[in-house]
Amino acid sequence: MVLQPAGDVTSPAENQSSPARPTVIDVHVLLVRDDTVLLTRRRRGDWDGMWHLPSGKLDPGESVLDAAAREAAEEVGVLIEPANLRHAHTVHVAGSGPAPRLGMFFETRRWIGEPVNGEPDKCSGVAWFPLDFLPDDVIPYPLAGIRAYRDGVGFGLLGWDRIS
């Protein structure tokens, strides 16, 4: 399945014609309770007021599972054992910043603590949404991952104008 770009993202042509840049690896955490997923609302910056998943970049020397558990703890205050994270989707993204991204989405239904806004300087809220009725203002990149998870799709492309 090829995911199509949505929303305001840098043109794929700009990304593909720019000098080679290392691919950024992001992790996204799908905290799932019944048929709902936890989203946080961005504060400030390009995506101010829009919803997204707890997420972030890998730190040097960190595994994707450790990064996902760390991001969940930092952003929404829950503790997740890395062994309780299940790979849900990977998407190769062009146009969501100056360099391509490889987004890895991990699902968990087991954590310790009740989610709260752990970064009020970066996020203005935390809320549960039904997987089938997401708000209209979800950032396109995490939205692609949520939809792919919901539909059982393991890999996708977002923002690339050609497939080799």
Span 39-97, pLDDT tens digits: 999 998 888 999 999 999 999 999 999 999 999 999 999 999 999 999 999 999 987 77
Cβ of 133: how many Cβ atoms within 10 Å? Answer: 8
Query: In this predicted structure, what is the pLDDT of residue 162?
Result: 66
- Contact status, residue 105 vs residue 88, Cβ threshold 8 Å: yes
What value, to the nearest 5°, has the Cα angle with vertex 112 and ends 105 and 64?
30
Query: In this predicted structure, what is the pLDDT of residue 114?
Result: 98
Distance of alpha carbon 82 from alpha carbon 80, whole angstroms = 6
Nearest to residue 102, comparing CAs of 156, 147, 139, 61?
Answer: 156
Q: Which is higher by pLDDT, 29 or 45?
A: 29
For all residues of the chain together, what is the average pLDDT?
88
Q: Any long-range contacts for 38-41 (C-beta under 8 Å, 24+ apart)?
A: 38/76, 38/115, 38/126, 38/127, 38/128, 39/126, 39/127, 39/128, 39/129, 39/134, 39/135, 39/138, 40/75, 40/76, 40/117, 40/123, 40/125, 40/126, 41/123, 41/124, 41/125, 41/126, 41/127
Stated pTM of the model: 0.85
Span 102-153, pLDDT tens digits: 999 999 999 999 999 999 999 999 999 999 999 999 999 999 999 999 999 9
Q: Does domain 12-158 have CATH number 3.90.79.10?
A: yes
Band the pLDDT of 19: cuts 50, 70, 90: low
